[in-house]
Amino acid sequence: MEQINSHVEKLAGKVVVLGVSGSIAAYKSADLTSELRKAGAEVFVVMTESATRFITPLTLGTLSRNPVAVSLWDEGQGWQPGHIELADQADLFLVAPATANQIANFARGQCPDLLASIYLATRAPVLIAPAMNGKMYEHEATQENLKILESRGVHFIDPVVGELACGYEGVGKLAPIDQIVLESAGLLA
């Protein structure tokens, strides 16, 4: 327990840009936001449009105590474009849950939205926690995208096996929140 606490202490005072994409597991990002903030991190949540179908920016803004960014076209705090501002501020870029779609965007360097633009613009460590239907996760396309990202230094928290929201049993469940918090802390100096 002491070891866990000292590990998590590394989050204190650090800026975590938390990307939330359109997975059914997006509701779990409320707990994740809360736990990261309680560990002392400054959390800036970035949601995709799809994610807002699953959980509201109001919830994540309240829990993070910071405004939530969704659109690439929102004006930032200063003169810089919002995605550059967030990308530069981040000590860690954490994407949880990460959809198959965002993983594909990142692997191809495509930037159709704020989240994918931050991925390309940041030089902070990147930690991705995929969550999706097992067949989507095991699909060659997704597996190839994951390999590409891994070869570029992206860190992953693999999804776990269990009963999936889609009705299937298999791999694809978002990793436990305490594990995501712990691995986030582990990537910080």
Ligand X SMILES: Cc1cc2nc3c(=O)[nH]c(=O)nc-3n(C[C@H](O)[C@H](O)[C@H](O)COP(=O)(O)O)c2cc1C
Residues in contact with ligand X by CB under 6 A are 21-25, 48, 50-51, 99-102, 131-132, 136
CB of 40 to ligand X, least distance (A): 28
Helix (H, G, I), strand (E, B) or coil at 76: coil
CB of 65 to ligand X, least distance (A): 23
Catalytic residue status for 111? no
How far apart, in whole angstroms, are the C-alpha atoms of residue 162 and residue 174? 10
Of 9 and 158, CB closest to ligand X: 158
How far apart, in whole angstroms, are the C-alpha atoms of residue 88 and residue 5? 27
CB of 116 to ligand X, least distance (A): 8
Q: By C-alpha distance, which of 161, 119, 120 is closest to 137?
A: 161
CB of 75 to ligand X, least distance (A): 21
Q: By C-alpha distance, which of 21, 185, 180, 13 is closest to 100?
A: 21
User: What φ, ψ does residue 59 adopt, rounded to 5°?
Assistant: -60, -50
Q: At which residue do the structure tokens 């993070």 appear? A: 64
Of 48 and 117, CB closest to ligand X: 48
How far apart, in whole angstroms, are the C-alpha atoms of residue 40 and residue 38? 5
Of 38 and 53, CB closest to ligand X: 53
Tokens of 114: 């704020």
Whether residue 57 contacts residue 70, with contact meaning beta carbons closer than 8 Å, is answered with yes
Out of 5, 166, 168, 178, the active site residue is 166
Of 8 and 114, CB closest to ligand X: 114
Catalytic positions, please? 166
